[in-house]
Structure 1
Amino acid sequence: MDIFGIKALLICALIFIPFENLFAERPQKIFRQGLAVDLIYVLFNSFIIKAAVVMMAASILGVAAILVPQSITQAVGGQPIWLQVAEIILITDAGVYWTHRAFHKIPALWKFHAVHHGIKELDWLGAFHSHPIDIIVTKAISLTPIFFLGFSEASIAVFSLIYFWHTMLVHSNMRITFGPLKWLIASPQFHRWHHANQREAYDKNFAGQLPFLDVMFGTYNATGNKVPEKYGVDDPVPSTYFGQIGYPLLPRGQLSNPAAPSTEADA
């Protein structure tokens, strides 16, 4: 059993590396800064997150069996797979949007999320570069309604596959905008302007898959074809894996955080 997802990593590399070279948004080496740390995130996070989701699903399904009428779970799980997948994407991304926004607005949560924003050279591997607490909390909030309402295993599996590939795509170093569909489907252009360390990008583009959520709640950043000048944060995030894992847990004063609320931003 490939519990660390090494086979999936190799398949992804064979797909994304050539395409990032063909359609590169900005010049960037394959063996870029931070590559080794990102590979560690892929291996360790894969195992940790899988274990956390399995335990979370088992707990939620147990509670749902007691609290949710069987008629509801049967009705939800009996819908066509395509409709269930569409509903799952909408429900989970609403959860992702508000959780993501909270991680930016609440200083204690930002310490965890700053690890993800610390990426200075963005590509498909950036999808895995997140503190485990950040991912687990986000998945707990976004997936709880899905397990609770009784969506079928097949629809959850299809959604998981779509989410897996789409997350890597939006972090990739590819010049793709999706044209008129940019309001409906998150593109690399949309998400890189969430990672940009520039004033116009702060607290923008929180949605994971559905940009119209940002449009609805006033956090959409329409950038056209502009390319960010730089990525990363001004916070003193360590460069090593274990340094980053321990970074949010160390006692310190208020972080200097360009993406979190500040007196200047609120003025």
Structure 2
Amino acid sequence: MDIFGIKALLICALIFIPFEHLFAERPQKIFRKGFAVDLIYLLFNGFIIKLAIAMIAAGALGAAAFLVPQSITQAVSGQPVWLQVAEIIVITDIGVYWAHRAFHKIPALWKFHAVHHGIEELDWLGAFHNHPVDAIVTKAISLTPVFFLGFSEASIAIFFIIYLGHTLLVHSNVRIPFGPLKWLIASPQFHRWHHANQREAYDKNFAGQLPFLDMLFGTYNVTGDKVPEKYGVDDPIPSTYFGQIGYPLLRRRKLSNRAVPSTEA
């Protein structure tokens, strides 16, 4: 059993490294700053998050057995798989949106999420650069309703494949126009403006897959074809894996501007 996701890593690398070379948004080395640390995130966080998802699923399924009528779970799992997958995408991304927004707005949570925003050179591997607390809380909020309602194993498996591929894509260093689909499907351009360390990008574009959620809740950042000047945060994020894991627990003299509630309308 490939518990550390070595096979998945190799497949993703074979797809995205040439992809980023052919359609690069900006010149960037494959072994860019923080590459080794992100490999550690992929291997060890991946294992931890898999365990967390298994526990989330067990808890939700156990609760559903007592609280959700069997007729409902059977109706949900009896739908066509394609429809279940579409419903899962909507349900999970609503959870991702609000969890993500909370991690930006609440200073104590921002300490964990700042680790992800500390990436200064975006590429596909940066998608794995998440503090375990950030990743697990977001997974718990977004996935619990899916397991609770009884979606089929096949539809959940297909969703995970789509989610992984799309998450890597939006973090990748590629410039691909999405045209009218940019309102429906999150693009690299949409997400890189979430990562931009510029005032107009703060607290914008929270959705993971569905940009219309940001449009609906007033957090969409219209950027056209502009490229961010820089990524990262002003927070003093350590450069090592264990330094970043312990970073949220350290006392800080100054809050990041991102964690200070905006006074703008």
CA contact (8 A) 1:193 1:221 kept: yes
Report % sequence identity. 82
Distance 2:31 2:239 in 1: 16
Instruction: Give how far 1:258 is off.
Output: 3.0
Aligned to 1:249: 249
Deviations 1:22-70 (A, max 9, x none): 0000010111000000000000011000011101111110111011000
Distance 2:259 2:217 in 1: 17
Aligned to 1:259: 258
Opposite residue 90 of structure 1, the aligned amino acid is V
CA contact (8 A) 1:177 1:190 kept: no
Where do 1:169-184 residues align within 5 Å?
169-184=169-184
Instruction: Give how far 1:250 is off.
Output: 1.8
Where do 1:1-267 residues align within 5 Å?
1-255=1-255, 257-262=256-261, 265-266=262-263
Structure 1's unaligned 5+ residue stretches are none
SS at match of 1:266: coil
What's the RMSD between the two structures over aligned residues? 0.9
CA contact (8 A) 1:117 1:233 kept: yes
Deviations 1:91-113 (A, max 9, x none): 00000000000000000000000
Distance 2:151 2:135 in 1: 21
Opposite residue 259 of structure 2, the aligned amino acid is A
Opposite residue 258 of structure 1, the aligned amino acid is N
SS at match of 1:50: helix
SS at match of 1:24: coil
Distance 2:91 2:119 in 1: 28
Distance 1:66 1:250 in 2: 41
Instruction: Give how far 1:182 is off.
Output: 0.3
Normalising by structure 2, we get a TM-score of: 0.98
Instruction: Give how far 1:163 is off.
Output: 0.1
Distance 2:152 2:19 in 1: 34
Structure 2's unaligned 5+ residue stretches are none
CA contact (8 A) 1:177 1:188 kept: no
Opposite residue 266 of structure 1, the aligned amino acid is T
Distance 1:170 1:35 in 2: 17
Distance 2:81 2:19 in 1: 30
Count of residue correspondences: 264
Distance 2:61 2:248 in 1: 31
Instruction: Give how far 1:252 is off.
Output: 3.1
